[in-house]
Amino acid sequence: MANRHRMTRAARGAVLAAGAALALPLAGPAAAQAQPQTPAAQAPSQTPAAPAPAQAPTALPTLQDFFSNPQFSAAQLSPSGRYLAAKLAQANGRERLAVVDLEAGSAQVVASFQDTDVGQFAWVNDERLLFDTADYQSGQGDQRYAPGLYAVNRDGKQFRQLASRSGETPSGLAASRVLPWHTYMLGQRGAQNSEQVYVTSKKITGPGQVDYVDLMRLDTRTGYNVTINRPGDVQSWLLDAKGEPRLATVTEKGRSSVHYLDPATKEWRELVSFGQFTGGKGSFRPLAFAPDGTLYVVTHAHKDKSTVHSYDLASGKINERALVELEHYDFSGQLIMGQDKLLGVRFLADAPGTRWLDPAMQAVQEQVDALLPGTINLVSPPARPESPNLLVEAFSDRQPRVYLLYNSATKKLSKVGEARPQIKPSQMGKQELVSYAARDGLKIPAWLTLPKDKDKNLPMVVLVHGGPYVRGKQWGWHADAQFLASRGYAVLEPEYRGSTGFGQAHFRAGWKQWGLKMQDDIADGTRWAIAQGIADGKRICIAGASYGGYATLMGLIRDPDLYRCGIDWAGVTDIKLMYTGHWSFQSDLPDSWKQYGMPYLVGDLEKDAEQLKATSPLEQAARITQPLLLAYGGSDRRVPIYHGKKFRDAVQKTNPQVEWVQYDEEGHGWALPKNRYDFWGRVEKFLERHIGPQR
Between CA 674 and CA 684 the distance in angstroms is 15
pLDDT on residue 584: 62
**What DSSP character marks residue 595?**
I
248-288 confidence digits (pLDDT tens): 999 988 889 999 999 999 999 999 998 888 888 778 999 99
Between CA 268 and CA 257 the distance in angstroms is 12
pLDDT on residue 169: 60
* 441 phi, psi to nearest 5 deg: 95, -10
pLDDT on residue 27: 30
pLDDT on residue 602: 93
pLDDT on residue 23: 38
Number of H helices, E strands in the chain: 12, 38
The DSSP element (H or E) to which 196 belongs, if any, is strand 196-206
Torsion of CA 104, 106, 111, 114, to 10 degrees: 180
Class of domain 428-691: alpha beta
* 368 phi, psi to nearest 5 deg: -65, -45
* 657 phi, psi to nearest 5 deg: -105, 45
Residue-wise over 218-237: b if at least 16 C-beta within 10 A, else e? bbbeebebeeeebbebbbbb
Q: Is 517 in contact with 509 (CB distance < 8 Å)?
A: yes
Q: Which residues of the chain have pLDDT under 50?
A: 1-51, 173
SS3 152: strand
E-assigned strands of 546-665? 565-569, 628-633, 658-663
* 654 phi, psi to nearest 5 deg: -125, -5
Q: Which long-range contacts (CB under 8 A, 24 or more apart) does 95-101 make?
A: 95/136, 97/121, 97/129, 97/131, 97/152, 98/24, 98/25, 99/129, 99/154, 99/155, 100/22, 100/24, 100/32, 101/154
Q: What is the pTM of this model?
A: 0.88
Between CA 40 and CA 37 the distance in angstroms is 9
Cα distances from 684 to residues 127, 486, 488, 552, 689, in angstroms, run: 49, 11, 11, 17, 9
The upper half-sphere exposure of residue 556, i.e. CA atoms within 13 Å in the direction of its Cβ, equals: 31
pLDDT on residue 18: 32
pLDDT on residue 57: 61
